[in-house]
Amino acid sequence: MIDASLTPAVEEAALPRRRGRRFGGVATASLLWLVFVALTCALGPFAIHANPNATDVAAAFAPPSARHWLGTDDLGRDELLRVLVGGRVTIAVGAVAATVAMIIGSVYGAFCGYYGGWIDALLMRAVDVFMSVPTLFLLLFLAAMFHGNIVTLMLVIGVTSWLGPARLVRGDILSLKERPYVEAARSMGATDARIIFRHLVPNAFGTIATTTTFMVAGAMLAETALSYLGIGVRAPTPSWGNLLSGAQSYIFARAYWLILPPGLAILLTVTALNFVGDAVRERSNDAVGST
């Protein structure tokens, strides 16, 4: 066991570090983009100083101009303002849903990994069951059942995306619980709950942090997909997904300013999150390899 893990480590030690440097530029650019998006979505609407839901049908489908930088939509609303406010909504849904998924997944995974045995076998089988049903089916099902406000949407996305995190955290805890400090804590009379939440889960933080980044990306895509399908964020509240729900009719109106900006905003932000997550994972692999 020890031999097998040592031999390749020597050869590949240089490899991930080079990779880490290679993705450095892209990861930094991604981080800068995320900061830029967060700031413009948070502050931009104040600068534009208008009601994002105020309609002006006379000015509908106006192409980009000095007055409306990204033109206007089918009801004459300022597209730039709606993209910025929509960004707030989509990012909030992504962040909250990912947090919900991570909390459920981490607790579930830590519990399975720590206790092992038949409890673990039974609970992980339940994860297999959930994984056999397409996530989007479950999402549509729950969204149809509990259709309502944005909070419901966040919860629905959260409770359908904890399976991946649960598996990953479980894997981490399985190896972490064999470490000497766990035995030390137990010898001092620490309860199971204390060992799990004060010792094991903080040590699995690397996995949890990386997975959270990917989860936010995934939850944002889920929001856009549900909103596109008309079961996500409801009009008139804008979101990056429902700004595109009329995209097909905009094609025939040749209103590309209504299709490209929200689409590119989703694409670039989700890509940036995935790049940052990938870079963090590479770095934490490096750290594990060098110790």
Partner 1 sequence: MLAIPTLVGVTILTFALLHIAPGGPALALAGDRATPAQLQHITHQLGLDRPWPQQYGAWLWELSHGNLGFSYSRQATVVSLIEERLPQTTLLMGSALLISVLLAVPLGVWQAYRRNSTLDRIASVVVFLAWSMPTFWFGTILIAIFAVQLRWLPVGGLQTIDTAGFDWPSRIAHLILPTTTLAIVSLAGWSRYIRGSMAEQLGEDYARTARAKGLGMRAVLFHHVLRNALIPFITLLGATVPALFGGAVITEQIFAYPGMGQLFWQSAVDRDYATLLGMTVITGVLVVLGNLLADILYAVVDPRVRYD
Among 97, 270, 276, 279, binds partner 1 (CB under 8 A): 270
Query: Contact between 259 and partner 1 (CB under 8 A)?
Result: yes
* C-alpha span between 63 and 1 (Å, rounded): 65
Among 118, 125, 189, 291, binds partner 1 (CB under 8 A): 125
From residue 204 to residue 243, what is the string marking binding to partner 1 with x (rule CB under 8 A)?
A: -------------x---x--xx--xxxx---------x--
Query: Contact between 31 and partner 1 (CB under 8 A)?
Result: no
- Residue closer to partner 1 by CB (options 200, 255) is 255
- Residue closer to partner 1 by CB (options 201, 244) is 244
The window from 56-64, 92-100, 142-150, 280-288 that contacts partner 1 (CB under 8 A) reads 142-150
Among 13, 184, 235, 251, binds partner 1 (CB under 8 A): 251
Among 2, 6, 14, 252, binds partner 1 (CB under 8 A): 252
DSSP labels for the chain?
-HHHHHHHHHHHTHHHHHHHHHTHHHHHHHHHHHHHHHHHHHHHHHHHTS-TT---GGGTTPPP-SSSTT-B-TT--BHHHHHHHHHHHHHHHHHHHHHHHHHHHHHHHHHHHHH-HHHHHHHHHHHHHHHHS-HHHHHHHHHHHT--SHHHHHHHHHHTS-HHHHHHHHHHHHHHTTSHHHHHHHHTT--HHHIIIIIIHHHTHHHHHHHHHHHHHHHHHHHHHHHHTTSSSPTTS--TTGGGTTHHHHHHTT-GGGTHHHHHHHHHHHHHHHHHHHHHHHHHHHHHHH-
Among 83, 101, 143, 204, binds partner 1 (CB under 8 A): 143
Query: Contact between 69 and partner 1 (CB under 8 A)?
Result: no
Query: Contact between 267 and partner 1 (CB under 8 A)?
Result: yes
Give the binding-site size for partner 1 (rule: CB under 8 A). Answer: 50
Per CB under 8 A, residues contacting partner 1 are: 8, 11-12, 18-19, 22, 26, 125-126, 128-137, 140-141, 143-146, 217, 221, 224-225, 228-231, 241, 244, 247-248, 251-252, 256, 259, 263, 266-267, 270-271, 273-275, 278
